[in-house]
Structures are given as C-alpha cells and as structure tokens.
Amino acid sequence: MGRYVIRRLLQMIPVFIGATFLIFVMVYALGDPVAAFFGDRAPDPATAAQIRHQYGLDKPLWHQYLDYMGNIFTGDFGTAFNGQPVTELMKSAFPVTLRLTLVAIFFEIVIGITFGVITGMRRGRPIDTSVLLMTLVVISIPVFVLGYVLQYVIAVQWGIGEPSVSPEAPLNELILPGIVLALVSLAYVTRLTRTSIAENTRADYVRTAVAKGLPRRRVILRHLLRNSLIPVITFIGTDIGGLMGGAIVTERIFNIQGVGYQLYQGILRHNSATVVGFVTILVIVFLLANLLVDLLYAVLDPRIRYA
Amino acid sequence: MRGSTRLKWAVCATAVALAATACGGGGSDSGGGGGASGIVSASWGDPQSPLEPANTNEVQGGKVLDMLFRGLKKYNPKTGKAENMVAASITTTDSQNFAIKLNPGWTFSDGDPVTSDSFINAWNYGALLKNAQKNASFFRFIDGYDAVHPEKEGAASTAQTLGGLKKVDDLNFTVKLGAKFSTWPDTLGYSAYDPLPKSFFSDHAAWLSKPIGNGPYTVDSYTKGQTMKMRKWAGYKGPDAAQNGGIDLRVYTDNNTAYTDLQAGNIDLVDDIPASQLKNAKSDLGDRFINQPAGIIQTVSFPLYDAKWSGPNAAKIRQGLSMAINRAQITEQIFQKTREPASDWTSPVLGEAGGFKAGLCGDACTFNPTEAKKLITEAGGLPGGQVTLTSNVDTGSHKDWSDAVCNSINNALGNDKACVFNPIGTFADFRSKVTSKQMTGMFRTGWQMDYPLIQNFLQPIYYTNASSNDSHYTNANFDKLINEANAEPDTAKAVALFQDSEKQLAIDMPAIPLWYQNGTGGYSTKISNVTLNQFSVPVYNEIKVS
Amino acid sequence: MPEEYDRSNESVAPTGMGGGMDLAASEAQTLDHGPGHGPQPGGPTGKPRSLWSDAWHDLRRNPIFIISALLILFLIVISLWPSLIASGNPLQCDLSKSQQGSQPGHPFGYDNQGCDVYTRTVYGARASVTVGVCATAGVALLGGILGGLAGYFGGAWDAVLSRISDIFFAIPIILGGLVFLSVVTNSTVWPVIGFMVLLGWPQIARIARGSVITAKQNDYVQAAKALGANHTRILLRHIAPNAVAPVIVVATIALGTYIALEATLSWLGVGLKPPTVSWGIDISAASTQIRNAPHMLLWPAGALSITVLAFIMLGDAVRDALDPKLR
C-alpha cells in the first residue's frame, strides 16, 4: 500500500510537466493578449513592445515556458495583467472555491446518495418517477437559469439569504451557491447510486444478510450501500476538479471571485501566468482526489488490493 | 468490519475539513447596504490595469480616478463643458503655445501641495516609453513626444522628459504643442492628465496599493479584486466637495448579480443595467431607473483594405447595407430604448453647438428596405453573395443585436443567409484580428469618447492611419478638413468644418453608424440626486444619502 | 423492467421477512425466478444462448424499451425531415414580434429575435440530437474501452492511461473550446462533437475503470481465468456485462449535458456557427430572458428533456436486460 502511494505520487511529476506544458501552449495559441489592453484603440507599436517585454511575451514559446517553470520553483507564479501577482490571486481564490466545492460535494453525497438509495429500492414507484423528473429538469435547464431563479426567489422575493456572497464568503452564504453548483452532479450521483443499489439488492450477500435477520438499516448501510458506492465515489472523485475549476457560472451568479472566475478572466485575457498557475494547482488537487478514490476502492471492496 | 470503520473515519475527516474551512471564513459583517452613516455602496468592476492615471483607459478604473483626482479641467456633469478646476486659466495666442496658471491652495490628501511639478512630472511619467502607460498617446500633441516615446517598435527614448513642458514657477507652466490644436485645453479634463503627488514617484508600490490624489475622496481601504472603500476627504478645498460620507465600491463579476443585489437592498447604486433586465428595470425601479445619453456610439466598420470592399461599387453596397438596418426597431426591441438610432458619427451629448447634428448622414442612415435592395443589386450584389458580421461575444450582449442586424438585412434583401453573424470568443482575439487586418466583412466598432469634443469622434477613427482607424479608411478631403478644423481658433467655424468632414463619411460610408448608447443605472430609495455624466459614470460626489 | 418487477413484488411480498420490506420482497421475487432459470415463455429450449442474445430477447419484450425506442425513432425522423411537422422557416424572423406569446399558427410564440419558437424547436432537433448522440457514443466507446483496459490489466497500462486522462482532465473546457474550436470555420456539428469526445472521454474512462476493477474481483472471472479463457473472452463475456451499468448511467445523463454544453460553447462563440439552428443556441438565448419570456426557454428545454428521458429509459432497459440476476 505505502509503495503504491509513493509510486502514484511519483507519477504526478510527468503529469504535472505534461499538463503545464499543454496549457501553456494552449494559452499561447489563443493569440497575442496585448492588442486588447488598448480597448478599441490600436496599440502604438512601441508601448505594445514594451508591455510584451515586461511580461516576457517577446521570447520564443519554449523560452517562456522554461522561464515560467523556473520561476514556479522559487514560488513565483508570475503577474496577472492588472499588476497583481498570481500567488495573491490564488490566496484569495482557492480558499473560497475550496469551501464552495466542499459544500457542493457535501450536498452531492447527502442528497444524491439518499435519493439514490430511496429510488433504487423503490424503482417504478412515484418517488422514483419524481426524482427522475427532477433529474430531467436539472439537465435540461441551464445552471444559469436555475441559479438565477433560486437567487431571485430566495433573496429578493422571500428576502431570506443574500443574493451574492460577500468577499469573506462565510459558510452560510455558500449554501445556496453550493446547491446550485451541485445540481447537475446530483443528477449523476442519484442515478448512479440508484442503479448500483438496484443491482446489489439482488446480490447473494444481501440475501444472506437479510436471511440472517439483520435489521434493515444495517443491511442497507453496511452491505448494500458500501458495495454500491464504487461508481459513485469514482464519479465524485472526477467531479472535484470539475467543480473547482468549472464553477464559472455559479461563481458569476453569486459574485464569487473564485478559481473559476480567475481562470475565466485569465483565459479571456490570454494571460498564461494566471491560467497555467491555477490549472497547476487544480491538477494537483485532481491527482490527489484520484489517488484518494483509488484508495477508497480498497476500503469499500476488500478484495481489491494494491501492491 | 475494518473497512466500514475506516469509511466512517473518512466521512468524519470530510466533516472536520468542512468545519475547519468554515472557521477560516466568516465572522465579519457581510457587507451590503446600510452601514456607516452617509455611505453609498455602489457596484464596480475590477479595473484591468493598475490605477495609474495614464495607465487607465477603461471606465471601471476611470470611476476611481474620477473620485480621487481633480485635473486642470473638469467636465461639467450636466453640460459636458470643460471647466477650470485646478487651473486658474489656460491661455494661448497662437493655438500652439499655452500658458497654464494654477489656482493656489490645492493639496494632495497627504499634504503635498499641487504645483506645476505635480503636472509636469505626471505627464513626463505618462509619456515615457519605459513606463509603458496605455494612455501615453494622449501626450503626443505635446512637443518633444517623439523623443520620449518613439513610435517604432524596439526604438529607445532619446529624452526622458517632454521638451514642450516648461515650469515657470510653482503655479505657472507653459506647454508647446507639436502642431496647432485650438481646442487642446478642452481635452485636459481626461484623467490621463491628472497631477501626481511626490509619493507616487518615491514609493510606487505603496501608492498603487493605496492611491493618493487631490480629489474629494480618499482611499480608506482597497482589497484588489473585491472592494474599495472611498471616504469623503475633509480637507478637500475644491468647489465640488462630496455630499455623502463616502462610497464603498464593490466588485461584481456579473452586472445581473449587482442588479439582483440592488433589488434585495444590498447595494445602493448600480451603474450598468444588464440588457436582459432592461425590460423590467422600469417596473422594478420606477423613477430610480437612469437612462440618459452618454458619449458612446456603436458602429460597424468595413475592411477597406480588402479588395472586396474597396472596389468602385463598394461604397454603394455599404450604403445599401446601412439602409437595410432597422435601427429604430432594434433599439426598441433589443435595447428597450437605451440606445438611440444614429444618424451621424458623433453623439448627442456634444449638443448642437458641440457638433452633434441629427440626420447629417441623410438617407444612407434611414431604414429603407426597398432602396437598400435596389442599391445593392445595382452594385452587383453582396461581394461573394454573403456578408459576415464579426464581433466578440465575451462582453456586452453583442450576439443579440448582431443577430438582429443580420435578420434585418436578410429581411430587406429577401435572403435568409445574406448576412451571417460570426462570433469571436474573446475580446483579445477579436482586437488582435482587427488590428492585424484579418477582417473580411462587417465588424463591430464602438467608440467611447475620451473628452466631449467632436474632434474625438472623428480624427482618432477616420483620419488616415489614426490609432483607431480599424477600417483603414483614407480620404484626402476628410484629412484636409480635419486639419483645417483643428487649426481654426473659432469654435463654431471649427465645428462646421468637422461636420463637413462627416459629410465625406456619408459618401464613403467606411463605417455604418448604428446607435448612440445611453448610460443606464439604478439606485435604492436610500440615496437621491443620482445622475450619470457624459461618460456614463455616476456623479458620485453629488449623491445624497437620506 | 420496473413495472413488471413491482407487480410481482406485490404478489409475493407477504411471504418475505420483515413485513413488506423491499429488500426481502425483491429477494423473494428473485428467488422465484431463482437458480433454476425457469423456462422462459417462447424461449427456445435447445442450446443455451449467449448473454447478449438473452438480453436482446428480454429487451424486445420490455415496454420501457419499446416506448423509448419509439421516442428515439420519432426524434430521428424529425431530425432528418423537420419539414414533416413544421412548415415555417426557422431563419425567418420578424423583430416586431419579439417575445410575443402563443398565437394561432404559432403555438409556442416567438423568441427574442421574433423567430417562431415551434419551427426553431423542430429544426433544432437535427443539430442537437446529432451532437448529443454522437458525442455520447464517441465518449462512451473511447472512454469505455480505454478505461476498461486500464482497469482490467492494471499496472503499467493503468498508470499510463490514467495519467493521460488526468492531463486531459486538466484542460479547462473554455480554454479547450477557444483553442480547438476557434480555428474551425465550417459550420457543421462534427468539430463540436470531436471536441466533446476529446475532452469528455476521461470521465467515462474513470467510471469504467472503477467498475472493471470491481467486476474483475468476482469469482466467475477468477474461474474463467483459471480455466484459461483469453482476455478478449473474459472482457466481453464476463466483465463487460457486469461493468457496463455505471457507464450507461453516466452516458445517458451526459447525453443531455452535451446538448447543453453545445449551448455553452455557442455562447462562448466557438460552438455551432449561425445559421445552424440548435436547442442549445435557443436555450442559451432564452436563459437571459427568463423573467420576460419564459416560453422561449420552455419549448427547447422541454424537447431536450424528452430526448434525455428517452435515452435514460433506453439505458435502464438495456441495463436491466444485461443483468442476469433479474432473469
């Protein structure tokens, strides 16, 4: 087990290099950022050249990449175009987004798995159909609309809660954004749990457990759920990165200057320092989440072993 | 069951993590409306550049500079006239050499007096190539600019200061321009010309994190990307002291959220109503909805460097396309009358005396589908049978009006694929394609004035090789008229010459005027006396809190 | 086959332990069909059929399958020949009718640009259904195969494939879209589909890998291995049917999200190019008008819901048919 973990951690190095290089090249491919600095005015060539020089944009791509990587190891992630160091942006963005993501995952786990278990055990019943309908709504109506409607109804019409999240982003203000962020993933988690549960209700071990006369709760939690969770855990593991980096819409609606927002701004402004910096951290989060998921496999299913 | 206890442990760990991060945040008050007495909370956007006056060329940074600084002149928020502020007088005898006399008694909020040096040093800083200031080109009128800021890429400055600036004493200095420019003093209300205190140069980093100016407000605290708290400066001696205790600017990444916050009573002032809410704004806000003209005109330009658009019949096609656009309907249905159909190339905020003339463009800007179709058919039809309309889609609601313009053209020409919208993902990409001459059909061009002069709507955009001449239009008669107008000391005569130059545009139609854009905004019941100036920026210092 | 399953539940439930408890009921029901694998009505009695043909046999008799298949057939037909049920022109718009509601001849009303919502919804099916189905099929195949191989072989295979998928995961969709799709100038759906497959496969791969890792622990797989069955046979015969359920679930939901993702891409200016009509484009245009003209959103979003529903039902039916424990 220990050796497996170490091996996996070592594998992060090539992924890290590959991902940063890929992202760096992609931002470079977006094109020259300097023209946009001047709004609707054509940049005067000398100032544009001066700005390119300041940000090292006048060097060849490989040189820029090596410079960037060299700086990363000294803790310097470069500067955003508004003059802020990227590390400063990270310091303000990641804590908020991390909290938001945890809230979203909390709802995914609690609501998603509960719904999944209920519908999986009562297939075809009204509750199953209702949950299916909710799933369809969540999939076919854009997050923007659901988020906006919830925000409007709850904060403006009912006057409970705040439409936007204040810069400090306390947990209670993140409940609504967290739910909105989790909505689509909730559909996945519910359906995955439902299917697994439905499959496993007919497995031998469940029959044995029931035959032994174990109480219903215990059978569901200990035997049924535990064996049904692998696809769900896998999904949530892949979702963490998506939630953290892809919360652009949710963050916009609730005015959160988080990772999604900073990434989006960086991309729109073709700023490789911001984009690569944020993605780098996301990749690490991602790899750790995947590792955690793989370790959970062994916990959930003792037959799976890692050497 | 070993596994399940471990599972439990994992769940607990997650819960702990949640709780721990929960502890990390929260605690302090959640911002929003109300708060300290007389404080107005207002929406803001993250400025795109550091808040140096000569480096700020967009409206969000401009808002702060507007509160923080007072320059030689200030544009009257109602009439748009450039009025003396720090300047006591600006005089000239030849439209080229100007003598500037400052009012005594002005100081920066750190006690540093505002002197001739405050201006001269600021302007030299703004012009110097090494400082890479985005508004450096505003100083190009001043003699010696070329030495400080050579035009060519890679060239080095041969001087550190502008030769045309001469200090006489602490309250007097002279400016020599490179060429005659009679209305130059009226450009001096632009924030690029603001004075800078000594601390700007001695501790630049500290100044940037908490800027110091000579305006009615001081910066109380500034959290980049989130909030800026401006407070009334008690020591302000100028004529336009703040009528409120201060302004809390809060960054919104989406103006729709700001609007919802206004409805929920969390914020007092929103200065940009999202297009999707314009329909509701009147019923939501009643007379607290602001919709007033601003110095912004939207146009679509043609790539005159492309052979397809420079042929002998191309002007006729361009005029035909202009006539095919139903401006009145689009401004009403898409923009809910927050735009006015355009019929010249300036803006109503200039006023009649300033050079605005409704209907100057004539028939070419009047909706007439039959005539449009006739003109285009006579000229041999659209080049390639189809015209594209290119715009970026990451800002504003450009897709909506672009679709509407294309539909209007398609309906006029009776061909549902005559005009096709070509979206571009980012403004950066769009602008770099425009400036590198990669357009092949119509493309969006907009102009927000820097100062309320008709010159600003024409010369930077249509003069040969001008900085924003995206269609690369060139016409000897137009250039000649602009030069004459700039040299003309009599304002009325100069305006007439500028209008003559516009008539050349009506003939050549390098850009189709679409509409004049208004400034929009909304405010809470807590505040009153809210207006926007001609730059669509709220006049913060006049807002009253009840 | 939920309905059928439920009905038998009711009839046997009282025999179960724990008084009407679902678990017991389902168990009783399963026991009924039990190990004997009782003679199936109409089933041939001779040589044993393969699991896949068994599944097909079940499927044909499943009403859920029939309903979903009919719905999908309908969608395919209107995608191919939209003019069968809509006589208008989706590109013919009259701004003066902007956002008007339902009226005779125009049952769904008009959108923001004054285009007929009904016509656009019908004509939008082609692009949207193509994007949804092809992107999902591509993602499921590529992700399923790569993930399955990674999970089955483990070791170096797993390490390499999983790490490659990690790198793809790292690409923000917006960045990828702007880079890969902004260079595309043609207005077909294929670049968009290709892009979705390129960035979408790692998710399915992860799910498939996880399922295969669990499935390969099963006794019958170990037994087959011991008996010397080759990898292809084990993978196709024993592992695939047991690992496919989560892939189906994720894929059927993803189908809907891909259609919605197309809207996001269009909104970013890199998706389907005008004059292509799609539900995604219309949904995204309607989103901002939700307070003024909800009908603009209702119809394209409703069409999307029905499509997703059809495929979720199909997925359920296929999954049930593949589950030997239900037989």
Rounded distance, CA A59 to CA A50, Å?
Answer: 13
Residue B103 has pLDDT above 90, yes or no: yes
Instruction: Tell me the C-alpha distance between C12 and C26, whole Å.
Output: 9
Q: What is the DSSP string of A139-195?
A: HHS-HHHHHHHHHIIIIIIS--S-SS--TT--GGGGHHHHHHHHHHHHHHHHHHHHH
User: Rounded mean pLDDT of B79-91?
Assistant: 92
Residue range C286-315: average pLDDT? 87
Binary contact (B445, A40; C-beta < 8 A) = yes
The nearest CA of chain B is from the CA of A270 a distance in Å of 7
Q: Which pLDDT does position B541 carry in this prediction?
A: 93
Give the span between the Cα atoms of C159 and C144, in whole angstroms.
Answer: 16
Q: DSSP for C312-324, please give it.
A: HHHHHHHHHHH-G
- Chain C hits for B276, CB-CB cut-off 8 Å, are 288-289, 291-292
From residue C269, alpha-carbon distances to A175, B392, B430, B437, C263 in Å are 32, 8, 11, 20, 10
Cβ of residue A38 closer than 8 Å to a chain B Cβ: yes
d(CA B453, CA B183): 8
Q: Distances from the Cα of B344 to the Cαs of B3, B354, B358, B468, B535, in angstroms?
A: 77, 13, 6, 18, 19
Query: B132: number of CA atoms within 13 Å, CB side?
Result: 18
Residue C322 has pLDDT above 80, yes or no: no
Q: Would you say B337 and B351 are in contact if contact means Cβ atoms under 8 Å apart?
A: no
pLDDT of residue B454: 93
The two structure tokens encoding residue A31: 């094109």
Check B423 against C273: CB less than 8 A apart. Answer: yes
Q: Tell the residue number behind the tokens 């040189």, with chain if given.
A: A63
Q: Which residues pair with B113 in a beta bridge?
A: B107
CA distance A183 to A166: 22
Considering only CB atoms, which chain A residues are within 8 Å of C209?
Answer: 234
**What DSSP string runs through B516-543?**
EEEEEEEE-TTEE---B-TTS-B-GGG-
Q: Is C59-326 assigned to CATH 1.10.3720.10?
A: yes
Task: CATH number of the domain at A101, please.
Answer: 1.10.3720.10
Least confident of B70-79, B422-431, C137-146: B422-431
- Domain assignment of residue A225, given as a range: 86-257
CB contact under 8 A, A234 and C257: no
**pLDDT tens for each residue of C154-200:** 888 888 998 898 888 888 888 888 888 877 777 788 999 999 999 89
Could you tell me where the DSSP H helices lie in C62-116?
63-80
Q: Which residues of C touch B277 (CB under 8 A)?
A: 291
Distances (CA, A) of B543 to B246, B523, C109: 10, 10, 44
The percent of residues in chain A predicted with pLDDT above 70, rounded, is 99
- Does C81 score more than 50 pLDDT? yes
Chain B residue nearest residue C183, CA to CA: B424
pLDDT at C325: 64
C292 touches chain B (CB under 8 A): yes
Mutate to test the interface with C, among B255, B386, B393, B397 (most CBs of C within 10 A): B393
pLDDT for res B225: 83
The answer to whether the beta carbons of residues C68 and C317 sit under 8 Å apart is: yes
- Sole residue written with tokens 């012009």: B127
Question: Number of structural domains, chain A?
Answer: 1
The first and second tokens of residue B259, run together, are 């609007």
CB contact under 8 A, B257 and A252: yes
Q: Are B191 and B69 in contact (CB under 8 A)?
A: yes
Per-residue pLDDT, averaged over B313-318, amounts to 92
pLDDT at residue number C30: 36
In this prediction, residue C327 has a pLDDT band, given cuts at 50, 70 and 90, of: low
Q: Taking CA A248 as the corner, what is the angle to CA A243 and CA A249, rounded to the nearest 5 degrees?
A: 105
- Please list every residue in chain B whose beta carbon sits closer than 8 Å to the beta carbon of residue C178: 425-426, 429
How far apart CA B230 and CA B538 sit, in angstroms, is 14
Instruction: Flag the least confident range among A66-75, A292-301, C44-53.
Output: C44-53
Higher per-residue confidence, B478 vs B95: B478
Residue B27, sorted as left (phi over 0), alpha (psi -120 to 50) or beta, turns out to be left
What pLDDT sits at residue C43?
Answer: 42
Q: Tokens in use for C35?
A: 């190990």
> Could you tell me which residue, B2 or A204, shows the higher pLDDT?
A204
Chain B neighbours (≥3 Cβ pairs under 8 A) are: A, C
Mutate to test the interface with C, among A202, A232, A265, A304 (most CBs of C within 10 A): A202
Do residues A286 and C166 touch, judged by C-beta distance below 8 A? yes
Task: Identify the CA nearest to B186 among candidates B397, B440, B394, B495.
Answer: B495
Query: Is C274 in Cβ contact with B421 (below 8 Å)?
Result: yes
Cα-only R_g, chain C: 24
d(CA B427, CA B403): 18
Least confident of B8-17, B97-106, B251-260: B8-17
Q: What is the mean pLDDT of chain B?
A: 88
Task: Encode burial over B343-356: b for 16+ CB neighbours within 10 A, e otherwise.
Answer: bbbbbbbbeeebbb
Does any domain span residue A6?
no
Instruction: Give CA–CA dist A235/A229, Å, rounded.
Output: 10
Q: How many angstroms separate the CA atoms of B164 and B170, rounded?
A: 17
The SS3 assignment for B93 reads coil
Q: How many residues are there in chain C?
A: 327
Give B519's pLDDT tier (boundaries 50, 70, 90): very high
Q: Are B149 and B129 in contact (CB under 8 A)?
A: yes
| Residue C295 binned pLDDT confidence (cut-offs 50, 70, 90) | confident
Task: Give C266→chain A minimum CA distance, Å.
Answer: 13
Residue boundaries of the structural domains of chain C: 2-49, 59-326
Confidence class for position A305, pLDDT limits 50, 70, 90: confident
Band of pLDDT at residue B167, cut at 50, 70 and 90 = very high
B393 shares contact with chain C (CB less than 8 Å): yes
Cα B272 from chain centre: 13
Nearest CA in chain A to B467: A42
Q: Which residue has the tokens 């982003």?
A: A169
- State the pLDDT confidence band at C10, using cuts at 50, 70 and 90: very low
Task: Tell me if B425 and C275 make a contact (CB, 8 A cut-off).
Answer: no
DSSP per residue, B366-424: S--HHHHHHHHHHTTSSGGG-EEEEEE-SSTTHHHHHHHHHHHHHHHHT-TTSEEEEEE
In this prediction, residue C41 carries a pLDDT of 43
d(CA B52, CA B199): 13
C-beta separation of B46 from B250 below 8 A: no
Q: Is C275 in the B-facing interface, judged by CB distances under 8 Å?
A: yes
Nearest to C259 by CA among C157, C127, C77, C102: C127
Mean of pLDDT over chain A:
86
Q: Which residue of A has its CA nearest to C256?
A: A139
Q: Nearest Cα to A91, choosing from A275, A262, A208, A236?
A: A262
Answer yes or no: is A52 within a domain.
no
pLDDT at B347 over 90: yes
Minimum-distance CB partner of B393 among C269, C289, C291 = C269
CA B187 from centroid of its chain's CA atoms: 14
* Cβ neighbours of residue C252 closer than 8 Å, sequence gap 6 or more: A191, C136, C308, C311, C312, C314, C315
Cβ neighbours of B333 in C, within 8 Å: 95-96, 98, 114
pLDDT of residue A44: 79
Chain A residues in contact with C260 by the CB 8 A cut-off are 139-140, 142
B429 touches chain C (CB under 8 A): yes
Residue C142: its H or E element? helix C117-153
The rounded percent of chain A whose pLDDT value lies above 90 is 12
Lowest mean pLDDT among B160-169, B396-405, B524-533: B396-405
Q: Judge: B129–A50 Cβ closer than 8 Å, yes or no.
A: yes
Q: Is the pLDDT of residue C24 over 90?
A: no
* Spatial separation of the C-alpha atoms in residues C241 and B466, rounded to whole Å: 69
Q: What mean pLDDT comes out for the span C244-248?
A: 88
**In chain C, which residue's Cα lies nearest the Cα of B327?**
C95
**C177 contacts in chain B (CB < 8 Å):** 425
| Number of residues that this document lists for chain B | 546
**Considering CB atoms only, which of B136, B257, B469 is closest to A164?**
B257
Q: Do B425 and C114 touch (CB under 8 A)?
A: no
Contact C95 B333 (CB under 8 A): yes
Listed range (A42-56, A173-187, B334-348) with the worst mean pLDDT: A42-56
User: What pLDDT does residue A307 have?
Assistant: 56
Q: Is residue B85 classed as helix, strand or coil in its secondary structure?
A: coil
In the beta sheet, which residues pair with residue B341? B515
Q: What angle do CA B212, B216, B221 make, to 5 degrees?
A: 45
Residue A272 belongs to a domain: no
Q: Which chains touch C (3 or more CB pairs under 8 A)?
A: A, B
Block residue for tokens 């803790």 = A75
User: Parallel, antiparallel, or unpaired for β B511-523 and B289-301?
Assistant: antiparallel
**CA-CA distances (angstroms) from residue C315 to A131, A205, C306?**
16, 26, 14
* Candidate from A96-110, A236-250, B477-491 with smallest mean pLDDT: A236-250
Q: Which of C259, C267, C246 is nearest to C308 (CA)?
A: C259
Q: Kindly report, residue by residue over A15-53, the tens digit of the pLDDT.
A: 888 888 888 888 888 888 888 888 777 777 888 888 888
Binned at pLDDT 50, 70 and 90, residue B9 comes out as very low
> For B185, what's the count of Cα atoms within 13 Å in the CB-facing half-sphere?
27
Q: How far is C109 from B316, CA to CA, in rounded Å?
A: 38
In a domain, A192, yes or no: yes
**pLDDT band of C235, cuts 50, 70, 90:** confident
- Of B532, B460, B482, B521, nearest to B80 by C-alpha is B532
Nearest to C269 among B280, B410, B423 (CB): B423
Out of B280, B416, B423, name the one closest to residue C292 (CB): B280
Task: Provide the residue type at B208 as one letter.
Answer: L
CB contact under 8 Å between A270 and B428, yes or no, is yes
Residue of C6, C21, C27, C299 best to disrupt the A interface, most CBs of A under 10 A: C27
Closest partner CB to C206 (pick from A184, A219, A234) = A234
User: pLDDT tens across A90-140, in order?
Assistant: 998 999 999 999 999 999 999 999 999 999 888 888 888 899 888 888 888
Q: How sure is the predictor about C11, in pLDDT bands with cuts at 50, 70 and 90?
A: very low
Q: Which residue shows structure tokens 């020591």? A: B235
Look up residue B163 and give its two tokens.
Answer: 């030769």
Q: What is the pLDDT of residue B324?
A: 95
The answer to whether residue A19 is domain-embedded is no
What are A280's two structure tokens?
Answer: 């780098």
Instruction: Answer whether C131's CB lies under 8 Å from C256's CB.
Output: no
Q: Look at residue A284 and tell me if it is in a domain.
A: no
pLDDT at B19: 38
Choose, out of B278, B388, B403, B443, the residue to mutate when testing the contact with C (most C CBs < 10 Å).
Answer: B403
Residue A235 in tokens: 């999904």
8 Å CB contact between B298 and B443: no
Task: Name the pTM for this structure.
Answer: 0.84
**In the predicted structure, residue C39 carries a pLDDT above the cut 70:** no
Side chain identity, residue B227: T
